[in-house]
Amino acid sequence: MMREYLQRKIELVNKELDSIYLEQDALNSTLAKSMNYSLMAGGKRLRPVLLMAAADAVGANGENFVHLATSIEMIHTYSLIHDDLPAMDNDDYRRGKLTNHKVFGDGVAVLAGDALLTMAFEVIADSPNVDVAKKLKIVKEISHAAGPEGMVGGQVIDLESEGKHIDMNTLQKMHRAKTGALFCAAIRSGAILGDATDKQLEALTEYARQFGLAFQITDDILDVTGDEASIGKPVGSDEKNHKSTYVTLGSLQSAKDLAQKAVDNAKEALKDFGTEADFLREIVDYLISRKK
C-alpha cells in the first residue's frame, strides 16, 4: 500500500513540475535548462508527498494541493544545487548525474538555485484550491523553514563545523535546521491546508521532527555503508569534509539505535490518527531500511 501510494504521488508531483516551467517559455534558456536539469533529475519527492499525506491524514484530499506542494520541491532542489557548489560541499555527483555547476558553471548554478527559491513563492501564490489566508500561513511556514532559522542557518553551522569536533547537541541543532525544518514545514503545511485541529497540528509537528531526525541519521549511516550506484553520489563525503555525524560521534550501531528510536517516537505521535495516517506510519518505517 505504501509503495503504491508513494508512486502515485511522485507521478503527480513530476507531472505538475513538468508543466510549471517549460524551457521554451523562459526568458533565458540557459537558466531554464539549469533549473530543469536539477529539478527533473529524479529524487524521492518526499517533501511534497509528505505535504499531501499530512492533508490526507486529517481527512482532506492531499492531491488537491499538488501544485502548492511542488514549491517545497523547488526549495529543496535549490538547496541541493547550492550545497554541491565548490564553496560548500564541492560535490561532483547528485542523483547519479553530474552536479549542476559541473554542467552549467558555478555562476549559472548559483542563479538557478536563486531562481528556484524565488519561483517557489510564486507557485504558492498561484496555487488553486487554497484561500489567501492559508497561502499566507504557508508562506510563513516555508520561508521560516528555508531561512536563517532553518535551512540557511543550519548550513552555516555545517560550514563552521567542518574540521571540528562538535558535540551531539550542536549536531542535532544543525540538522533540525538544515534538514528537519523543511520536512516540518511540508507536514505542517499539509495539515494547515487540510484544516487540522490544534491537537492534530501539534501531533503532526512532533511526527515531522522525529521523521527529520530519522532521515538525517539514516543519511549519515548510508554515507558509511551505502554504495555510490545506489545513492547516486559518492560515499564517504562526510569523512572527506571532516564532518561530525551521528556515526562519528557514537558508532554505527548507536546511530542505528537512535534512528529506530526516532521512528518509534514518530509513530507514537500518530497514535490518535486513524487509517488515513497509515502512509505516514509506513514511510517512517521505510526510512531506516532504505538504501538510497
Considering only CA atoms, which of 212, 209, 221, 291 is closest in space to residue 249? 221
Query: Does residue 157 contact residue 174 with C-beta atoms inside 8 Å?
Result: yes
Query: Does residue 71 contact residue 121 with C-beta atoms inside 8 Å?
Result: yes
Domain ranges of the chain: 2-287
Query: Does residue 28 contact residue 112 with C-beta atoms inside 8 Å?
Result: no
Write out pLDDT tens, residues 228-250: 555 555 555 555 556 789 998 88
Block residue for cell numbers 513540475: 17
Mean pLDDT of 112-117: 96
Q: Report the distance separating Cα 185 and Cα 104, nearest Å.
A: 30
Mean pLDDT of 149-175: 91
Q: Report the distance separating Cα 279 and Cα 57, nearest Å.
A: 9
Write out pLDDT tens, residues 58-97: 999 999 999 999 999 999 999 999 999 999 989 999 988 9
CATH-assigned architecture of domain 2-287:
Orthogonal Bundle (1.10)
Q: Supply 260's cell numbers.
A: 529506530
Considering only CA atoms, which of 178, 179, 177, 203 is closest in space to residue 190? 203
Q: Output the pLDDT for position 228.
A: 56
Phi-psi region of 128 (alpha: psi -120 to 50; beta: other; left: phi over 0): beta
Q: Report the distance separating Cα 94 and Cα 166, nearest Å.
A: 27
Q: Report the distance separating Cα 62 and Cα 48, nearest Å.
A: 10
Question: Which residues make Cβ contacts (< 8 Å) with residue 81, sequence separation at least 6?
Answer: 38, 99, 100, 101, 109, 110, 112, 113, 116
Q: Supply 228's cell numbers.
A: 555510490
Q: Supply 213's cell numbers.
A: 531526525
Q: What is the percentage of the chain residues whose pLDDT exceeds 70? A: 91
Considering only CA atoms, which of 9, 8, 33, 11 is closest in space to residue 23? 33
Question: Which residues make Cβ contacts (< 8 Å) with residue 207, sequence separation at least 6?
Answer: 187, 266, 269, 270, 280, 284
Q: Report the distance separating Cα 197 and Cα 58, nearest Å.
A: 8
Residues in the chain: 292
Question: Which residues make Cβ contacts (< 8 Å) with residue 145, sequence separation at least 6?
Answer: 151, 181, 182, 184, 185
Q: Output the pLDDT for position 207.
A: 98
Q: Supply 216's cell numbers.
A: 538525517
Q: Report the distance separating Cα 2 and Cα 286, nearest Å.
A: 9
Mean of pLDDT over the chain = 91
Write out pLDDT tens, residues 257-278: 999 999 999 999 999 999 999 9
Query: Does residue 196 contact residue 60 with C-beta atoms inside 8 Å?
Result: no
Query: pTM for the full model?
Result: 0.92
Strand residues in 84-165 grouped as ranges (E): 93-94, 97-98
